[in-house]
Amino acid sequence: MLLEMRLRKVAALAEKGADAEGFLKVVEVEGYPGMFRDADNKVHDLRPRDSRPCKANLLKRTQLQLAELLKKAYEEQLKQMKEQKNTEKHYQNVFTDLEQRQRRLCQTFGLSDK
């Protein structure tokens, strides 16, 4: 797919523009396989269209599937927040709010809260 889009994956972007063969240099966005960024910070999304997270694909899912995705997102956010061990009051309020939202979601859709 990179070749079709005339992109070349590099480890780091040293300068803007294309290489000698006319390929635009890009780096993969950490944590997002298939997403690339060029020196101008333009994002090139090369993930498969039928499975990438977008409005069209989310609309194909049932409410229960969407609730399960949201539950996973809450779980990951809470996990990362616990690892940070931040003691600021605002941070603790956000953490508590996320926990409450996750509980309500699980109750509403009959999902396991573990």
Q: How far apart are CA 37 and CA 18, in angstroms?
A: 13
> Do 75 and 103 belong together in one domain?
yes
pLDDT band at 29 (very low <50, low <70, confident <90, very high): very high
Residue 92 lies in a domain: yes
Residue 1 lies in a domain: no
pLDDT band at 41 (very low <50, low <70, confident <90, very high): very high
> Do 41 and 65 belong together in one domain?
no
Residue 68 lies in a domain: yes
pLDDT at 40: 92
> Do 65 and 101 belong together in one domain?
yes
pLDDT band at 114 (very low <50, low <70, confident <90, very high): low
44 burial type by CB count under 10 A (0-12 exposed, 13-18 middle, 19+ buried): middle
pLDDT at 96: 93
The average confidence (pLDDT) of the chain is 91
Average pLDDT in the 18-40 region?
92
Q: Is residue 1 over pLDDT 90? A: no
pLDDT at 103: 94
Q: How many domains does the chain have?
A: 2
> Do 100 and 70 belong together in one domain?
yes
DSSP-based three-state secondary structure for 95: helix
Task: Give me the domain span that covers residue 36.
Answer: 7-45
Q: Is residue 94 over pLDDT 70? A: yes
> Do 11 and 35 belong together in one domain?
yes
